[in-house]
Amino acid sequence: MKTNKVIKIIALSLTGLLLVGGSVLGFVNPTLLKKIIDYAKELLNQPLPIIGITVGALLIFIWRLVVSTNYGKRIINALKQELENIKAEHQQYKIDSEKEKEELRKENALLLEQVAKGFALSTNKKIQDYGKGLLEYGKETIDLDTKEE
């Protein structure tokens, strides 16, 4: 555990030092920074002289080696379990949100009905008609057929 923490600290320190040094070099001499970056890209794209494989292939091999060890398997299983937990929580959230939406629809219909009844008690004809139209609002057909139009 402690060696992992030490490696992380060293890696972050070196990354920070590299970024700060690169930004200072970029301000002082941008052409030199571009040459250094191009040289590093050229080195990474060349095959390794020992075996003749590229750096990408070596990194893939190291990744597969880590994955096949017990540590890698344990991490991958933990991540899979976490993914399953997230999926289960998502399904539960969808179910709960559908219940809440249905409750809100019922409450909205009840309030709409109460408002329409209040409008029906009015002595004004326009307000009564508006209350009748309010009950019919939103009950159009969902299946719109273009052939009928």
pLDDT digits (tens, 9 = 90+) for 65-101: 777 777 777 888 889 999 999 999 999 999 999 999 9
| Gap between the Cα atoms of 121 and 66, Å rounded | 77
The domain total for the chain is: 1
- Residue 128 in contact with residue 122, Cβ under 8 Å? yes
pTM for the model: 0.41
The 10s digit of each residue's pLDDT in 31-62 is 999 999 999 888 878 776 666 567 777 788 88
Domain-located, residue 126: no
Tell whether 73 is covered by a domain.
no
Examine residue 69 and state whether it is found in any structural domain, yes or no. Answer: no
Q: How far apart are CA 83 and CA 54, in angstroms?
A: 33
